[in-house]
Amino acid sequence: MVSLLDIIGPVMVGPSSSHTAGACRLGLLARCLVGGTPEKAHIELHGSFARTGEGHGTDKAIVGGLMGFRPDDERLRTALDIMEREGLDYQFEKTSLGDDAHPNTVRITLDRGDRTAQMVGASLGAGRIMITEIDGYPVEIPGNLHTIVLVAEDVKGSVARIAGILADASCNIATLKLSRKERGGDAFMVIEVDEQPDESVRDAIRALSWVKWAFRLDKVSA
């Protein structure tokens, strides 16, 4: 199925929906992992991002996203200058993430205060994106809905308890994906919700004794 967005593209600043709008959305999702604008970022560009990204403004778009700029924000044009004025330590590197990685893929490692996180994501075209890895765990997150990602011990009743926290916050679950490597090992959960959960929902999930970490990713796609 071809949508209108696929035909006319997203509202954006920049020449390419994949190299700028998509790249900006990847940065927007990545900043959620550390709760805001990171103080330090190591940005590794793969494939077409590495070869032609600079000419298409991919570096500006990712940095702008990390600072909270949307794809249609005029500040994307000067994002690198703003980054330097703010004293942020952002470094770019061209790399290879393997033959299986999408040509427009980036791996972003972030630091903010005592928080550190790593995300791998790809820009698929027409502004669409897919997060494929968070802190070494494989995921499939398109960013179309507000999302909570967590790793927890494999204990009975965990899904019901987390669903209860979301219900108490009036957040309706759209999709829930649960996986584990083995019985009694770590369970990995990706929950997409219709309503935007506030920080207290994430904190309530983190406070559960059997939850190892949890992130809240805000909806970023058009």
**Interval 159-186: pLDDT, tens:** 999 999 999 999 999 999 998 777 778 8
Cα 117 to Cα 64: distance, rounded to the nearest angstrom: 18
Query: What pLDDT, on the 0 to 100 scale, is given for residue 26?
Result: 96
Nearest alpha-carbon partner for 100 in 116, 122, 80: 122
Q: How many domains does the chain have?
A: 2
> Residue 134 pLDDT more than 70?
yes
Q: Does residue 222 lie in a domain region?
A: no
Residues 95 and 49 both lie in one domain: yes
Q: Is 91 exposed, middle or buried (0-12, 13-18, 19+ CB in 10 A)?
A: exposed
The pLDDT confidence band at residue 53, using thresholds 50, 70 and 90, is confident
Query: What pLDDT, on the 0 to 100 scale, is given for residue 11?
Result: 45
Mean pLDDT rounded to a whole number for the chain: 89
DSSP symbol at 75: G
Query: What pLDDT, on the 0 to 100 scale, is given for residue 186?
Result: 87
Residues 9 and 98 both lie in one domain: yes
Query: What pLDDT, on the 0 to 100 scale, is given for residue 2?
Result: 43
Structural domain of residue 156, as residue ranges?
A: 146-217
Residues 128 and 163 both lie in one domain: no
**Residue finishing a domain among 120, 141, 162:** 141
Residues 89 and 43 both lie in one domain: yes
Give the side-chain half-sphere CA count within 13 A for 133.
14
At 119, is the secondary structure helix, strand, or coil?
strand
Residues 158 and 198 both lie in one domain: yes
| Entry pTM | 0.85
Cα 89 to Cα 96: distance, rounded to the nearest angstrom: 22
Q: What's the CA dihedral at 84, 89, 93, 96 to 10 degrees?
A: -130
**Residue finishing a domain among 141, 167, 184:** 141
Residues 59 and 128 both lie in one domain: yes
Q: Does residue 43 lie in a domain region?
A: yes
Q: Does residue 82 lie in a domain region?
A: yes
